[in-house]
Amino acid sequence: MRTEELVLQNNKLRVTLLSYGASIRGLEMPDQYGVMGPVHLVLDSAEQYRDPDRNPYLGASVGRYANRISNARFNLDGNEVALKANEGPNQLHGGERGFARCMWQVRTHEHTPHGGSVTFALSSPDGDQGFPGNLNVLSKYELDGDTLRILYTATTDAPTVVNLTNHGYWNLDGMATVRAHCLRLNSTQFLPVGTDGLPVDSLQSVQGTPFDFRNRTLLEDALNARPAGFDHSYAVNGPLGQLRFAALVDSTLSGRWMCVRTDQPAVQFYTGNGLGLPFHKFGALCLETQMFPDTPNHPELGSAVLRPGQEYRSVTELRFGVGPHPLLGKE
């Protein structure tokens, strides 16, 4: 099946989407001089996105469970669920054939004066990558002025776990790395993980650690303090389930900024530590709004269980601009 490419645009942003992985292929916006340019990593052709060696989940809709599940198994209602492992003994981003590696159906494509929207649909059968229940998923991208809104919804016919996210790779300058970017996270706690990316402790305070981004921090300084880079989950301050400020990234080189709001409990901050050709290490940053890694095996981190009659829902808003951020210091 051919990958469909769709465009949403207005006088501020141009967003290119792909049916493969229900993905953001690219996003273009002006810099401080009014010159349009890309702020998301892009492969040369739409078909290259099907190659997992080239495509590290670029802008993809990730599921059935984003992030990692230890030993590719968990307990659900007293029964052990065995998943298909794809990262050593663990499962990452829903398995080898997770949602990011699937062709989604284009359900709607609408244009409006403010931008428009695209809705992708996917049916994941019972037993898909080991997950129970037939799951029906919608991924909706809505462009409204300077904001790209991403809405995920899902329903199931049997108890299962669901955790969806968009795996955008952002670089506001179009430079080789994001070291010149600055980041602020609305978080006082992060989740310590081992070399396998799985939790090794409960949520910890960021105070006095290299993981403290409560104030605007230059990534050059952060990466000097932690040369291995970052791939950690942060608890987003504020009421769970309500849309709230999560992150603000900006660069003085281009003058661009991106503000992230979400209703999810956490944001995974990743500095592209594993990026390779045609990209560079630290060539982008990811701010993946989601649940915590391995939540199905850590009830203290919440519940990812979805049951028949319920609707999974996740909302994230990405707002883009140039110059001083109007909410800086007020979030």
- CA nearest neighbour of 190 among 285, 301, 286: 301
Cα angle 274-66-301, degrees, rounded to a multiple of 5: 110
Please say if 167 is a catalytic residue: yes
Per DSSP bridges, beta strands 165-167 and 60-62 are antiparallel
What is d(CA 126, CA 158) in angstroms, rounded to the nearest whole number? 9
**What phi, psi does 85 have (nearest 5°)?**
-80, 145
What is d(CA 83, CA 244) in angstroms, rounded to the nearest whole number? 33
Query: How many alpha carbons lie under 13 Å from residue 201 in its C-beta half-sphere?
Result: 10
What is d(CA 58, CA 169) in angstroms, rounded to the nearest whole number? 6
Token duo for residue 93 = 């981003």
Out of 40, 93, 288, 325, which one is annotated catalytic? 288
Out of 93, 167, 181, 232, which one is annotated catalytic? 167
Token duo for residue 266 = 């956490």
Hey, which residues are catalytic here?
A: 167, 288
